[in-house]
Amino acid sequence: MPGLDELLLPVVRVGDIRHEDQAQRWLVDPLWGDSSVGVIGGSPKCAKTWLGLDLALSVATGTACLGKYAVPRPGPVLVYLAEDALPTVRERVAGMARHRGLELAAVDVHVITAPTLQLDREPHRSRLFETARRLRPRLLLLDPLVRLHSTDENNAQDMAGLLAYFRSLQRQLDLSVILVHHTRKNTVKGGAAGQGLRGSSDIHAFGDSNLYLRRTREHLVLSSEHRAAPAAPPVSLQLVATDADNTHLEVLAEVRDGQRRGLQDQVLDLLGPGVVLTRAKLRDMLGVKNERLGEVLVSLERNGRLRRTGAGWRCPD
């Protein structure tokens, strides 16, 4: 039988808790908090893996993420990319390193080569923990979340157990954990980005720092949110691939609030290639008044940017 002390939870008097400076500390300033967990969210083919690797390379080398965001305390990085062959991972990181004038051999990024990781079960959990404990990375990048478990992402209880494991890694090893995750189809562009993440709402609530990528008609838009700090201004990104040996993500400009929130842009984002939606469906997805939506649709039609058909509204061919 365990003794009484073994049955008790550890406690500390509030006045004896070590005082720390309350200023936000950053892993990548101001995109990702130091020792934070969260997701990079976005639809398929919107450069989530490119962004994750850019963050990884920046933390490992102390160079600016996306050529813009500083890394105050660089250190080793551990990554697992379940959907990319190892030569592809090497090629991508090598191209970004070359663009920054770095030697690939000096980049302190460690790639897990196991064919699968199922982090809802043992022994995979223990093996990842021990690997991270030995390497002591500042950042652990896992891409994508859907390939890391066999549970139901819509089941809050199942996801709570998986997310608790990632939180335990962060707390015990003092590292940041980034999970790459997909958003749902037909996500409402005007709503909170985190509400569009696929699966249980616990995935959104779990994040201390979250990054979101959204593809508009012209470019990618990167936005952020933090539990304990204001969001960074959203920026437009471009995957620069004019030279195949130096492919990299690049910040084009900050996105003005009007650009980000305009109803016309939200309507056009929903009506992608081949998509046809009725006015009623658009109104439900956008959560706007029917009269305001009607004015926007008429304006877009008048300017030749939308066409009304018997089945609904669509972009011109």
Query: What pLDDT digit, counting tens, does each position of 225-267 carry?
Result: 999 888 899 999 999 987 778 899 999 888 865 444 467 877 8
pTM: 0.78
Using CA atoms, how far apart are residues 98 and 104, in angstroms rounded to an integer?
8
- Mean pLDDT over residues 113-121, rounded? 96
Using CA atoms, how far apart are residues 285 and 297, in angstroms rounded to an integer?
15
Using CA atoms, how far apart are residues 128 and 162, in angstroms rounded to an integer?
13
Using CA atoms, how far apart are residues 189 and 94, in angstroms rounded to an integer?
34
Average pLDDT, the chain: 89
Q: Please report the pLDDT score of residue 3 as a whole number.
A: 67
Q: Are strands 37-42 and 209-215 parallel, antiparallel or unpaired?
A: parallel
Using CA atoms, how far apart are residues 255 and 193, in angstroms rounded to an integer?
15
Using CA atoms, how far apart are residues 216 and 236, in angstroms rounded to an integer?
10
pLDDT band at 224 (very low <50, low <70, confident <90, very high): very high
Q: Please report the pLDDT score of residue 257 as a whole number.
A: 56
* 179: nearest Cα among 133, 137, 147: 147
| pLDDT above 90 for 20 | no
Using CA atoms, how far apart are residues 263 and 273, in angstroms rounded to an integer?
18
- Mean pLDDT over residues 114-129, rounded? 97
Using CA atoms, how far apart are residues 7 and 153, in angstroms rounded to an integer?
33
Q: Give the chain's domains with CATH numbers.
A: 25-257 (3.40.50.300), 262-314 (1.10.10.10)
Q: Provide the strand spans (E) within 174-314.
A: 176-182, 209-215, 220-226, 235-240, 248-254, 307-309, 312-314
